[in-house]
């Protein structure tokens, strides 16, 4: 019965939490549940807490999201904070295996009450997941977790939605086997708050760092933005390089969730998006862009006019895919 489950939730019963997470993830009785957890009965053990720090990790399959989250759990616990993890698997026949894999990659003591890990199938696509994600975060926050870490499936489109729901979005990239950063991934640079170049123990880490910094430099305009700039750092879950620093950075970022106040923040995002689109189009040798550049270089159009044409080009339909 829901009433009993909610009572157990307020007594900080983790099995009740797990049941409620399943229900919310399925979209079952969500409003009742959220109303129920928001109103602890008088004398209940759960004390009102501050907001959780919600951090999402995105990046292509195998980039090491689960492994890194496992390392960050250690950092968070070392500070005495509690942490919940939502690992969103793309729905696949392998999801059972992925779940076991995540357990393995996020080693925690089974008796550690300060850690809660849950894998969820991203049924119905990323959009559906994002829809329930907001409710799941509220549920975990009501339980009193200090930190919520989310592993997403890293499907570009959905990351923009996830960004709205979390305080910090971390994009993981790894050294590429090819010569260049895969430029379709560069489009993701436009939404990240922190870019972690993972597996820095492998060759090629410097190269990808240089490429990412060059792309981001296009969007940098000192003093224009009140928001903290995008942070880029090299890390390795294997060697431990940069893990502590990453946590310090994540713990220090302002909580962004739900806050939509500063025009400068929005402007920074716009700048970031244009810069990433430009980098992708330039690397791909996009024909309209090349024509525009040629006309400008040959003095056929004035710089201000060319700049406006460039902005128009970057916001036009074909570029929204990048």
| Interface positions with ligand GTP (CB under 6 A) | 61-67, 98, 101, 105, 198-199, 201-202, 236-238
Residue 58 engages Mg ion in binding (rule: CB under 5 A): no
Contact present, 165 and 54 (Cβ < 8 Å): yes
Cβ closer to ligand GTP: 144 or 156?
156
Instruction: Output the smallest distance, CB 117 to ligand GTP, in A.
Output: 13
For every residue of 10-61, DSSP letters joined together read HTT-HHHHHHHHHHHHTT-SHHHHHHHHHSPPTT-SPPP----EEEEEE-ST
Cα separation of the two ends of the chain:
47
- Binding partner selected for residue 268 from Mg ion, ligand GTP, none, CB under the kind-specific 5 to 8 Å limit: none
Cβ closer to ligand GTP: 202 or 302?
202
Residue at shortest CB range from Mg ion: 66
Instruction: Output the smallest distance, CB 69 to ligand GTP, in A.
Output: 8
Contact present, 190 and 276 (Cβ < 8 Å): yes
Beta bridge partners of 119: 87
Instruction: Output the smallest distance, CB 142 to ligand GTP, in A.
Output: 27
Cβ closer to ligand GTP: 36 or 70?
70
Q: What is the DSSP letter of 319?
A: G
Residue 66 engages Mg ion in binding (rule: CB under 5 A): yes
Instruction: Output the smallest distance, CB 91 to ligand GTP, in A.
Output: 13
Residue 231 engages Mg ion in binding (rule: CB under 5 A): no
Question: Cα-Cα-Cα-Cα dihedral of 307, 312, 317, 322, to 10°?
Answer: 30
- Binding partner selected for residue 71 from ligand GTP, Mg ion, none, CB under the kind-specific 5 to 8 Å limit: none
Report the sign of the C-alpha dihedral through residues 95, 21, 150, 130, in that order.
positive
d(CA 85, CA 45) in angstroms, rounded, equals 23
CA 21 to chain centre: 20
The SS3 of residue 96 is helix
- Binding partner selected for residue 161 from Mg ion, ligand GTP, none, CB under the kind-specific 5 to 8 Å limit: none
Instruction: Output the smallest distance, CB 18 to ligand GTP, in A.
Output: 21
Cβ closer to ligand GTP: 199 or 268?
199
Take residue 312 and report the two structure tokens written for it.
């128009």
Contacts with Mg ion, residue ranges (CB under 5 A): 65-66
């Amino acid at each position: 019965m829901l009433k009993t489950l909610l009572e157990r939730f307020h007594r900080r019963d983790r099995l009740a939490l797990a049941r409620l997470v399943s229900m919310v993830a399925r979209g079952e009785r969500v409003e009742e549940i959220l109303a129920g957890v928001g109103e602890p009965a008088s004398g209940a053990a759960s004390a009102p807490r501050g907001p959780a720090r919600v951090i999402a990790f995105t990046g292509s399959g195998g980039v090491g999201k689960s492994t890194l989250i496992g390392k960050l759990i250690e950092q968070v616990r070392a500070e005495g904070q509690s942490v919940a993890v939502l690992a969103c698997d793309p729905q696949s026949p392998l999801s059972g295996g992925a779940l076991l894999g995540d357990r393995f990659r996020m080693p925690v003591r089974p008796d550690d009450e300060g850690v809660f890990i849950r894998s969820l199938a991203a049924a119905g696509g990323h959009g559906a997941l994002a829809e329930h994600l907001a409710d799941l975060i509220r549920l975990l926050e009501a339980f009193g977790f200090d930190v919520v870490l989310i592993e997403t499936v890293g499907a570009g489109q959905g990351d923009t939605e996830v960004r709205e729901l979390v305080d910090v979005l971390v994009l993981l990239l790894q050294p590429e086997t090819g010569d260049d950063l895969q430029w379709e991934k560069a489009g993701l640079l436009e939404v990240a708050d922190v870019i972690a170049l993972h597996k820095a123990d492998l060759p090629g880490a410097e190269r990808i760092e240089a490429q990412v910094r060059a792309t981001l430099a296009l969007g940098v305009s000192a003093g224009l933005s009140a928001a903290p700039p995008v942070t880029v750092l090299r890390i390795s879950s294997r060697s431990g390089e940069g893990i502590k620093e990453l946590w310090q950075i994540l713990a220090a970022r302002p909580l962004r969730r739900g806050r939509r106040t500063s025009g400068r923040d929005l402007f920074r995002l716009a700048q970031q998006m244009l810069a990433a689109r430009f980098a992708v189009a330039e690397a791909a040798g996009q024909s309209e862009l090349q024509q525009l550049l040629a006309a400008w270089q040959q003095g056929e159009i004035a710089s201000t006019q060319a700049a406006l044409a460039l902005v128009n080009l970057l916001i036009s339909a074909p570029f929204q895919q990048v």
